[in-house]
Amino acid sequence: MMPKTPGLSSIATKRPGQISGFGRDELIGQSIDILNATPGTLPERTAYRSQLREAGNLHYEVAHRHKDGSVFPVEVSTAIFTVSGRELVLGNRSRHQRTQTYRAILRTSEEKYRDLVNEANDGVFAGDDHGVLTFANQALARIHGVEHPEELLGRTFH
């Protein structure tokens, strides 16, 4: 039986405890707010459904609450569909530890690149399709006799 109130959970996976600590029977018939770190309002849910109808599906990160009260980040994917004239929202969530790991790797890589470029003895710069300078390192500023690389930004180089 499907709930008539937006935000109610009527179906839960067989093993929700892996993420939230709740048993399947504890989730059926409950508001999604049992999992959300911050309770949603009816206007927020209505707006969310409108956004979901327009997009067809949504992917985002949100904070969820574990049964023990702790809050943790999850990746959520939702889709909306109609069955027997009833509009249903299907959601899937997973911990985003992999995403956090990838972001940490990317952040480390960006820091190494930034350090390499900023500490280089050679002038390094980037420009847009029109030849307008959008980035310059300290060495390029020194070569052009200015104190700060930002002073070069916006200039046209050919």
**Amino acid (1-letter code) at residue 97:** Q
What whole-number distance in Å separates Cα of residue 158 and Cα of residue 155? 10
Q: Which long-range contacts (CB under 8 A, 24 or more apart) does 123-131 make?
A: 125/152, 125/157, 127/157, 130/156, 131/156, 131/157, 131/158
Q: What backbone torsions phi and psi does residue 122 show, to the nearest 5 degrees?
A: -95, 150
Q: Domain 16-99 classified CATH 3.40.50.720?
A: no
Tell me, what's the pLDDT at 61?
84
Neighbours of 125 (CB within 10 A): 20
Partner residues linked to 36 by β-bridges: 64
Six-digit token string for 66: 């574990």
Tell me, what's the pLDDT at 146?
96
Six-digit token string for 133: 């300078």
Tell me, what's the pLDDT at 40?
86
pLDDT (tens digit, 0 to 9) for every residue of the chain, 158 residues total? 333 445 544 455 555 456 788 888 888 888 888 888 888 888 998 999 899 999 988 988 888 888 998 888 888 888 988 888 888 888 877 776 666 777 788 888 999 988 999 899 999 999 998 999 999 999 999 999 999 999 999 998 76
Q: Please choose, from the candidates 114, 152, 158, the residue with its C-alpha nearest in 3D space to the C-alpha of residue 134.
A: 152
Tell me, what's the pLDDT at 86?
86
Domain boundaries, the chain: 16-99, 120-158
